[in-house]
Structure 1
Amino acid sequence: MIKTKPQTLIVDNKYCPGCGHGVINRLVAEVLEELGVADQTIGAVAVGCACLMIDTFGIDWIQAQHGRAAAVAAIKRCRPDRTVLTYQGDGDALAIGFSETMYAAIRNENITVIFVNNTNFGMTGGQMAPTTLPGQKTTTSPYGRDCAVTGNPLKAIDMLKTLDIAYAARGAVTTAAEIAKTKRYIRNAFEAQLNGEGYSFVEVLSPCPTNWGMPPLAAKERVASTIQEYYPVGEFVKRGEKRHD
């Protein structure tokens, strides 16, 4: 079966070869179109690779300040008839944007957060992010992340599970099977919003070949062999029920 390109993807993506963002963009576009809400969706982005979507992903966008996408997404309160999402990287959402991300969840805002975890600041040169793994080398941790100095990597879903939210899941874009699961998680997240259930959050583990200094296939394999060990995939909150799978 040949699948046609989603109409929401109005221009080819601008990401680095082998980057997972392109796949994730397509999954979000497919889900919005399948749910029939693409032309009624508002997206909020701040900085980083997500900003490239403004030119290529054909929905209405609001440009937020660094880390403030979740705060800007509170436009859902003014336009409850719209589907509202944020699309953010790990540096944006969990570093300077940590407060906004968490307080949107604490308030159980009826929005959907698409959170891309590639364990570094992707657009600005591969610096250490809150999600950088122990011992991982980055441009700002050239000898490897020392958790005795920096603390341990931040697991956002572990914190979100303690809150009264609608949905939380973590997927990956490593294999066809994992991509299919991730699409299902994204669909579940948007359905939670459409049903008025509250805050939904999907973390997607993504390769970053450019900043990891790896060929695309090796970067994808690193996600499966190393990153998923630290950040297991699955659904963790669904319909407000806490899960352990």
Structure 2
Amino acid sequence: MKVVYERPKTLEKVVNHYCPGCHHGILHALIAEVLDEMNLADKAVAVAPVGCAVLAYNYLDIDWIEAPHGRAVAIATGIKLAHPDLLVFTYQGDGDAASIGLAETMYGAIRGMNVTTFMYNNAIYGMTGGQMAPTTLIGMKTTTSPYGRDPKREGYPVKMAETIALQGGTAFSARSSLYNPRAITDTKKYIRHAFELQMAKAGYTFLEVVGTCPTNWGMTPVEASEFAKNELAKFYQLGVLKDVEGSEQK
């Protein structure tokens, strides 16, 4: 049986600028598919900050606002309070949402804001030269941890999906990845569920997506996907951490 992929209407017809093997493009396509299937593109407003995530507005044909580094959830909060019937989401990297913007992200969950955050976790600062991020694994080498991350010196990696799940205003917190078809299917399911809960005014929804950065990791695309599967997803375990409409699990 021949399967033909139909490009989502909300996905712009532009040349992909991301490095070979980067998973950002897959995540863009999944968000576009869900927006089309739920007929929400005309009601969607997204916020992109600084870093590789900022260029998401080149790929999704919806309304966008660019935020200062780390402030995406704060701006999304303002949009949602002014226009509660809109679908509002942020598209952020791990350095943006879990370091520079940690307070803004946390207070989105603490206050139970009806917005959604997608956090792309590739354990590194991709656009600015491959520095150590809050999610960099123990022993992982970066430009600012050339001998490998040492918890006695740089502290421990932060697990955002678990942290967000602990907050009372969180309706949904999950972690997924994109390294194989099953993982991609799960990610799309989580995106849809996050949007459904937001439109039902259930509270803050958060999806951490474990992705790749082949260039700064110094790997081929295949090696990077294997690293995401065997190393990142081993430490950052995939699955639902909190769901107000279902059973909580790890």
TM-score bracket for the superposition, by shorter chain length: over 0.9
Q: Does structure 1 retain, via aligned residues, the 8 Å contact 2:165–2:241?
A: yes
Q: Does structure 1 retain, via aligned residues, the 8 Å contact 2:165–2:172?
A: no
User: Cα deviations across residues 204-226 of structure 1 (Å, max 9, x unaligned)?
Assistant: 00011010000000000001111
Q: Which residue of 2 aligns with 1:237?
A: 242
Q: Which residue of 2 aligns with 1:216?
A: 221
User: Cα deviations across residues 122-142 of structure 1 (Å, max 9, x unaligned)?
Assistant: 111110000000000001100
Secondary structure, aligned partner of 2:241: strand
Q: Does structure 2 retain, via aligned residues, the 8 Å contact 1:207–1:220?
A: yes
Give the superposed CA RMSD: 1.1
Q: Which residue of 1 aligns with 2:55?
A: 52
1:38 matches 2:48: no
Q: Calculate the TM-score normalised by the size of structure 2.
A: 0.95
| 2:76 counterpart letter in structure 1 | A
Q: Which residue of 2 aligns with 1:155?
A: 159
Any residues of structure 2 matched to 1:78-89 within 5 Å, and which? 78-89=82-93
Any residues of structure 2 matched to 1:163-178 within 5 Å, and which? 163-164=167-168, 165-178=170-183
Any residues of structure 2 matched to 1:86-125 within 5 Å, and which? 86-125=90-129
| 1:205 counterpart letter in structure 2 | V
Any residues of structure 2 matched to 1:120-139 within 5 Å, and which? 120-139=124-143
Percent identity of paired positions between Structure 1 and Structure 2 = 48
In structure 2, list runs of 5 or more residues that go unmatched. Answer: none
Q: Does structure 2 retain, via aligned residues, the 8 Å contact 1:128–1:138?
A: yes
Distance 1:212 1:107, change over 3 A: same
Size of the aligned set, in residue pairs, is: 245
1:67 matches 2:70: yes
Q: Does structure 2 retain, via aligned residues, the 8 Å contact 1:43–1:87?
A: yes
C-alpha displacement of 1:55: 2.2
Residue of 3, 6, 10 corresponding to 2:5: 3
Q: Which residue of 1 aligns with 2:25?
A: 22
Secondary structure, aligned partner of 2:207: strand
Q: Does structure 2 retain, via aligned residues, the 8 Å contact 1:13–1:52?
A: no
Q: Which residue of 1 aligns with 2:190?
A: 185
C-alpha displacement of 1:150: 1.3
C-alpha displacement of 1:159: 1.3
User: Cα deviations across residues 16-35 of structure 1 (Å, max 9, x unaligned)?
Assistant: 11101000111111111111
Q: Does structure 2 retain, via aligned residues, the 8 Å contact 1:48–1:122?
A: yes
Secondary structure, aligned partner of 1:166: strand
Q: Does structure 2 retain, via aligned residues, the 8 Å contact 1:161–1:242?
A: no
| 1:82 counterpart letter in structure 2 | L
In structure 1, list runs of 5 or more residues that go unmatched. Answer: none
Q: Calculate the TM-score normalised by the size of structure 1.
A: 0.97
User: Cα deviations across residues 162-217 of structure 1 (Å, max 9, x unaligned)?
Assistant: 11210011000010011101110111111110111010000000011010000000
C-alpha displacement of 1:242: 6.3
Secondary structure, aligned partner of 2:53: helix
